[in-house]
């Protein structure tokens, strides 16, 4: 066995409870999210156990982890209903009784009174009972308190499973503790979003930086069609952590160039929007095969009305002619998936909308409609701007959904390049559509 | 301990292997998918264990399951690279040696030769080595063979983790075995997709049918903004299974009415598309707050060009006027989020596109832009059709993404109702936007 010596990295395990997860009613996404945050800190993530709402299964999972792990994060089963057994199972596994936490009960009553007229139901008061010896961590979002409890050699952290509550508790209350557990007082993290590069190529590109800077840890996460690179700087003090992170982030941004498209949860469209807003410019898409997806990516950003006026989904040739004014001769001579039609769509959209930048997308998303000359995945792009209209041809691999998503991102990428980001050298056409998984 | 008596339901466990899963690079979605399929058959799903690519962790997980479970499904680690350890760990856990499966090797070479010129790499040949005593199940999609192996009291099924391969192997090769393990020879399943109803309300609505028909098992899965109801009929012969399923499905469809929107993976938009195609009709959306999402849902359906011509994303008031011809007076007098503007958008879109049905959506998706009279979540709909234009006001709860998704679905629902589906009584406005999780 490892990690009893003090130099070995601490072992972390996860326990997830809940019949809904065990039956597949909902999928557990908390642990992947947590693992992506913890891994760069150098912990050994060894095991996740998912069990249903059965006392014996929960107790067994806790007791097994208690002799193997240094830390164990337990999610779910802290609600007010009778199938929420986790706190009681924790007490039983630790061999202690439940005690009423008066302070938490008072806080619950206060919260409740601020929102509702009737008194708090008896059931809900159950959430103020915790195992003796447990340390209350709290919950900035809800009524189930997160708590810590030592069982055998392992420190357990119990969290509600609702993602909104879970994420906030983890980031605000647990992450700093984990950082300290590495022997460092300060942690600075950054997630760089990358589009147009496979995970393995991304790994290769940043490898020299990673090797030169052991003071910052690197992690990777696939979020199709993007790959996320997470950087974590642990240091004895915050200033050193911030400086180390800044140095490595800027080195990574330099090698990534246009491949890096956002950071810390800002979407591709969001970082494009910020760029446009700075320049006082707007965008409006003319879409065929993506059928509204590019516009949807733009408008899902809160506040996007400041830099997008709308878009045109001209799926049929009739609408391409009638709305965007694509000449019928072009459609007949070159087909809808052609450089000429892409150009006419973009220019038509720009004439109509008055937007600064109008990307157009016309392609064959599949699974039907491919020909030997224009196989599935063939997509023509055009970008009409203030001084000229540029065009581009791409060939994407993958299924209909992947081709559409890659096409929408690639169209927005053209706008990014035109507004100052360095050009991407078609890297995203290589193998980005590979299935996210492993044999 | 349970389930050693022959009358207790068989216990099923899952083991998932792979550093990418353990580190959060990818999330494990296979087990939730599998659980949703197995639960209705009456198995006791007791535990999922996720471990990284460490031999000792994989062996330990297998040996622990071998004394607890009747069946264990293991996914991942069957690929050709050096960190794919699962087959070897299975042999070690079972105390047997690896043997070369000549038949599988021949099949691999054949497959390879059909696609590439160079001979198969030595590394890939590793995939033809299996534990002695293992039964080859095969793999219709790839080169890593699924196999079955008995260890102690448990029958293990080893599957590649790539979802595409995993799903097909499970459905074609494993599901029939699990059905037989229940003592029945035949299994018929159906998944009904429901929109406009919470999971608990859905449960309530079908409860009398469930109680009257123990021969069919019911399961639930949340897939925002839909809830999926799965029905599984197990019977001694296929005809009985089919009859039992048909009877219960039709009873469920009757109580659900318009709430049931599709089945067996057909999306909401897809079932609407089929309905339109039967009637020889078309649809074209005019979107404001949904910003292309409704059009995107329609056009992500393969073959949707037969029943949708395109759409208009008129996010700004200028485009509402310029493209759809919404009178400036209406916008000034009532604001963009109003019955009058929704009506004018829908009628403008119908005039321009010539589509049979034009739904319009204009609302406040948030988080900003709400007022006391029109709070975030206020959405006006209109549907312009052959004989009239109908309008509707909804108030949705939830974040920006949820309001937008509910709005897009609700707009398509108006078309469904107009084309023959019974009307939904606003059920979806109640609490559908509750976070998918549990404290």
What DSSP string describes A123-186? HHHGGGEEETTPEEEE-SSSSS-EEEEEETTEEEEEE---HHHHHHHIIIIIHHHHHHHTT-SE
State CA A192 to chain mean position distance: 11
Higher pLDDT, A378 or B25: A378
Is the minimum CB–CB distance between A5 and chain B shorter than 8 Å?
no
Residue B343's nearest CA partner among B260, B396, B286 is B286
CA distance linking residue B410 with residue A361, whole number of Å: 28
CA distance linking residue A23 with residue A18, whole number of Å: 9
Given this model, what pLDDT does residue A439 score?
42
- Assign B146 a pLDDT band (cuts: 50, 70, 90): very high
Residue B317's nearest CA partner among B288, B355, B279, B358 is B288
Domain A11-181, architecture per CATH: 3-Layer(aba) Sandwich (3.40)
Given this model, what pLDDT does residue A432 score?
27
- Most B CBs within 10 A among A313, A366, A368, hence the mutation to make, goes to A313
CA distance linking residue B31 with residue A24, whole number of Å: 7
DSSP per-residue letters across A118-139: SPPPHHHHGGGEEETTPEEEE-
Helix axes A199-212, A238-256, angle to 10 degrees: 130
CB-based contact A245:A253 (threshold 8 Å): no
State CA A165 to chain mean position distance: 16
Res B319 pLDDT > 60:
yes
CA distance linking residue A174 with residue A169, whole number of Å: 7
* pLDDT tens figures, B244-273: 999 999 999 999 887 777 777 788 899 899
Once rounded to an integer, what is the mean pLDDT over residues B316-323? 96
Residue B178's nearest CA partner among B152, B228, B217, B143 is B217
Q: Name the β-bridge partners of A218.
A: A231
Q: Which residue of B has its CA nearest to A24?
A: B32
Is the minimum CB–CB distance between A46 and chain B shorter than 8 Å?
yes
Domain A276-429, architecture per CATH: Alpha-Beta Complex (3.90)
In this structure, are strands B226-235 and B186-195 parallel, antiparallel, or unpaired? antiparallel
Residue A14's nearest CA partner among A64, A54, A81 is A64
The single residue listed with the structure tokens 């008896």 is: A122
A291/B314 touch (CB, cutoff 8 Å), yes or no: no
State CA A210 to chain mean position distance: 22
CB-based contact B391:B413 (threshold 8 Å): no
Is the minimum CB–CB distance between A78 and chain B shorter than 8 Å?
yes
Given this model, what pLDDT does residue B367 score?
92
Res B111 pLDDT > 90:
no
CA distance linking residue A396 with residue B119, whole number of Å: 27
CB-based contact A243:A236 (threshold 8 Å): no
Is the minimum CB–CB distance between A318 and chain B shorter than 8 Å?
yes
In this structure, are strands B358-363 and B283-287 parallel, antiparallel, or unpaired? parallel
User: Exposure of B21 by Cβ count < 10 A (0-12 exposed, 13-18 middle, 19+ buried)?
Assistant: buried
Determine phi and psi for B337, rounding to 5 degrees. -95, 85
A439/B29 touch (CB, cutoff 8 Å), yes or no: no
Q: How many CA atoms lie within 13 A of A13 on its CB side?
A: 24
Higher pLDDT, A322 or B435: A322
Given this model, what pLDDT does residue A259 score?
79
Is the minimum CB–CB distance between A184 and chain B shorter than 8 Å?
no
Res B185 pLDDT > 90:
no
Res B214 pLDDT > 50:
yes
DSSP per-residue letters across A382-424: EEE-SS-EEEEEEE--S-HHHHHHHHHHHHHHHHHHHTTPPPP
CB-based contact A231:A239 (threshold 8 Å): no
CB-based contact B343:B357 (threshold 8 Å): no
State CA B407 to chain mean position distance: 20
Cis peptide before A50 (omega within 30 of 0): no
- Calculate the average pLDDT of chain B: 89
Res B428 pLDDT > 70:
no
CB-based contact A253:A312 (threshold 8 Å): no
Query: How close does chain B come to A309, measured CA to CA in Å?
Result: 5
CB-based contact A134:A74 (threshold 8 Å): no
Q: Could you count the other beta carbons within 10 Å of the beta carbon of residue A367?
A: 12
Res B97 pLDDT > 50:
yes
Is the minimum CB–CB distance between B293 and chain A shorter than 8 Å?
yes
Query: How close does chain B come to A354, measured CA to CA in Å?
Result: 10
Is the minimum CB–CB distance between A154 and chain B shorter than 8 Å?
no
Given this model, what pLDDT does residue A4 score?
38
Q: In Å, what is the CA distance from B409 to each residue of A86, B365, B383, B416? A: 37, 14, 13, 10
Comma-separated ranges of CATH 3.30.70.2860 domains in chain B: 186-263
In this structure, are strands A11-17 and A71-75 parallel, antiparallel, or unpaired? parallel
Given this model, what pLDDT does residue B7 score?
60
Say whether A67 sits in a helix, a strand or coil. helix
Determine phi and psi for B352, rounding to 5 degrees. -75, -40
What does the block give as tokens for B138? 């095969």
The single residue listed with the structure tokens 């997160």 is: A146
Say whether B204 sits in a helix, a strand or coil. helix
Q: Could you count the other beta carbons within 10 Å of the beta carbon of residue A185?
A: 15
Is the minimum CB–CB distance between A45 and chain B shorter than 8 Å?
yes
CA distance linking residue B406 with residue B409, whole number of Å: 5
R_g of chain B, CA atoms, integer Å: 26
Is the minimum CB–CB distance between B201 and chain A shorter than 8 Å?
no
Q: Name the β-bridge partners of A195.
A: A226
CB-based contact A220:A228 (threshold 8 Å): yes
CA distance linking residue A6 with residue B226, whole number of Å: 50
CA distance linking residue A328 with residue A335, whole number of Å: 10
Name which of A142, A291, A304 is nearest B295 (Cβ-Cβ).
A291
In this structure, are strands A358-363 and A378-384 parallel, antiparallel, or unpaired? antiparallel
Q: Could you count the other beta carbons within 10 Å of the beta carbon of residue B40?
A: 22
Q: Could you count the other beta carbons within 10 Å of the beta carbon of residue B111?
A: 13
List of residues 6+ apart from A118 with CB closer than 8 A = none
Comma-separated ranges of CATH 3.40.980.10 domains in chain B: 11-181
Residue A314's nearest CA partner among A376, A370, A368, A360 is A360
Determine phi and psi for A168, rounding to 5 degrees. -70, -45
* pLDDT tens figures, A336-368: 999 999 999 999 999 999 999 999 999 999 999
Chain A contacts of B21, Cβ < 8 Å? 32
What does the block give as tokens for A416? 């990014």
B305/A316 touch (CB, cutoff 8 Å), yes or no: yes
Residue ranges of chain A with per-residue pLDDT less than 50:
1-6, 424-439
Q: Which residue of B has its CA nearest to A87?
A: B439
CB-based contact B364:B374 (threshold 8 Å): yes
CATH fold of A186-263 reads: Alpha-Beta Plaits (3.30.70)
* pLDDT tens figures, B35-54: 988 888 888 889 999 999 99
In the sheet that holds A226-235, the strands lie side by side as A216-223, A226-235, A186-195, A260-263
Is the minimum CB–CB distance between B291 and chain A shorter than 8 Å?
yes
Once rounded to an integer, what is the mean pLDDT over residues B63-90? 93
* Alpha helices, DSSP H, located in B132-194: 163-169, 175-181
CB-based contact B231:B192 (threshold 8 Å): yes
A49/B51 touch (CB, cutoff 8 Å), yes or no: no
ipTM: 0.79
Q: Write down the pTM of the prediction.
A: 0.80
CA distance linking residue B273 with residue B297, whole number of Å: 11
Q: Label each residue of A311-360 as H, E or C.
A: EEEECCHHHHHHCCCCCHHHHHHHCCCCHHHHHHHHHHHHHHHCCCEEEE
Query: How close does chain B come to A426, measured CA to CA in Å?
Result: 24
Candidate from A263-272, B14-23, B390-399 with smallest mean pLDDT: A263-272
Is the minimum CB–CB distance between A61 and chain B shorter than 8 Å?
yes
Comma-separated ranges of CATH 3.90.950.20 domains in chain A: 276-429
Name which of B127, B222, B299 is nearest A315 (Cβ-Cβ).
B299
A323/B294 touch (CB, cutoff 8 Å), yes or no: no
Name which of B142, B309, B404 is nearest A439 (Cβ-Cβ).
B142
B163-176 in b/e form (b: 16+ CB < 10 A) is: bebbbbbbeebbbe
For residue B381, give the H/E element and its range: strand B378-384
Q: Where would I find the beta strands (DSSP E) of B132-177? A: 135-138, 146-151, 154-159
């Amino acid at each position: 066995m490892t990690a009893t010596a003090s130099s070995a990295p601490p072992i972390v395990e996860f326990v997830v409870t809940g019949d809904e997860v065990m039956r597949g009613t909902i999928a557990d996404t908390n642990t992947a999210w947590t693992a992506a945050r913890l891994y760069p800190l150098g912990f050994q993530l060894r095991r996740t156990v998912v069990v249903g709402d059965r006392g014996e299964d929960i107790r067994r999972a806790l007791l097994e982890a208690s002799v193997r792990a240094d830390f164990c994060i337990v999610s779910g089963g802290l609600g007010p209903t009778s199938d929420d057994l986790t706190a009681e199972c924790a007490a039983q596994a630790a061999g202690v009784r439940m005690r009423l936490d008066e302070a938490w009960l008072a806080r619950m009553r206060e919260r409740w009174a601020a929102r509702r007229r009737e008194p708090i139901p008896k059931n809900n008061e159950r959430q103020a009972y915790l195992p003796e010896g447990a340390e209350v961590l709290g919950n900035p979002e809800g009524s189930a308190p997160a708590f810590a409890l030592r069982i055998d050699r392992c420190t357990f952290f119990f969290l509600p499973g609702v993602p909104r509550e879970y994420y906030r508790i983890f980031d605000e209350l647990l992450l700093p503790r984990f950082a300290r557990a590495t022997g460092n007082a300060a942690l600075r993290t950054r997630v760089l979003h990358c589009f147009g590069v496979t995970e393995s190529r991304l790994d290769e590109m940043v490898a020299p930086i990673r090797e030169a800077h052991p003071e910052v840890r690197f992690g990777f996460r696939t979020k199709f069609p993007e790959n996320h690179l997470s950087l974590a700087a642990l240091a004895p003090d915050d200033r050193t952590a911030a400086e180390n992170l800044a140095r490595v982030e800027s080195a990574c941004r330099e090698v990534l160039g246009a491949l890096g498209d956002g950071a810390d949860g800002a979407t591709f469209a969001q970082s494009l929007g910020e760029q446009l807003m700075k320049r006082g410019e707007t965008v409006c898409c003319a879409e065929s095969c993506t059928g509204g997806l590019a516009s949807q990516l733009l408008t899902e950003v809160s506040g996007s009305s400041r830099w997008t006026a709308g878009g045109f989904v001209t799926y049929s040739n009739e609408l391409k002619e009638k709305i965007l004014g694509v000449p019928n001769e072009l459609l007949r001579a070159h087909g809808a998936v052609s450089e000429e039609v892409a150009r006419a769509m973009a220019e038509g959209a720009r004439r109509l909308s008055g937007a600064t930048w109008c990307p157009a997308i016309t392609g064959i998303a599949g699974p039907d409609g491919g020909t030997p000359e224009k196989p599935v995945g063939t997509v023509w792009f055009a970008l009409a701007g203030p001084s000229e209209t540029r065009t581009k041809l791409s060939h994407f691999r993958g299924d209909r959904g992947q081709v559409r998503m890659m096409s929408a991102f690639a169209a927005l990428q053209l706008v990014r390049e035109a507004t100052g980001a360095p050009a991407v050298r078609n890297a995203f056409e290589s193998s980005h559509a590979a299935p996210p998984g492993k044999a």
